[in-house]
Amino acid sequence: MGGNIVLVGFMGCGKTSVGRRLAHLTGMKLVDTDELICEDAGVSIPEIFAEEGEVGFRAREAAALESLEGLRGAVISTGGGIVLAVTNRARLRALGLVCWLDAPAEVLFERAARSGRRPLLQTENPREVFDRLLAERRALYEEVADFRVQTASLDHEGVARQILAEMASRRGPREKSPL
């Protein structure tokens, strides 16, 4: 186990915001794979999709994740589609404890569609695409995750605290931190 906490889940589940809270509460460094991709490409995610398509984006995503090998003590937040590749799923598990942030489809869709910055939902019928992707991916989040947190009725701080409680319950008594 690589000693990091890895956040996975569908678009709109709150990975980035919860990751920030977790990093703040623990003093751990925050690493966001989407941010790494944009820094490396020098352009935004919608621009990558427009210029290189989803295939190009997925190759960049796999490379960003690979670059994290050996990282320790970080909160790692990821893009919703990172679980699609089997190699990525193995890498996520090797990095540390994997937490799946989940919520009912209605809640995820409302949050994901609101921002208007997700290229996969910029279609004529975003709800149809959303439902298909969610159906395809749920089993993959479940496969890769050590545990799941339901986020709909919690604020970001509440989700972060639940993750910390889960982490503490998995450590031996002598390793427990006061958090």
| Residues of this chain that bind ligand S3P (CB under 6 A) | 11, 15-16, 34, 45, 79-81, 118-120
- Nearest to ligand S3P of 18, 45 (CB atom): 45
Kindly tell me the sign of the dihedral angle through the C-alpha atoms of 49, 144, 32, 13.
positive
**How far apart are the C-alpha atoms of 57 and 37, rounded to whole Å?**
8
Sequence-distant (≥ 6) Cβ neighbours of residue 72 within 8 angstroms: 2, 3, 4
Closest residue to ligand S3P, based on beta-carbon distance: 79
- Nearest to ligand S3P of 54, 168 (CB atom): 54
Shortest distance (Å) from residue 156 CB to ligand S3P: 14
Shortest distance (Å) from residue 13 CB to ligand S3P: 7
Shortest distance (Å) from residue 168 CB to ligand S3P: 26
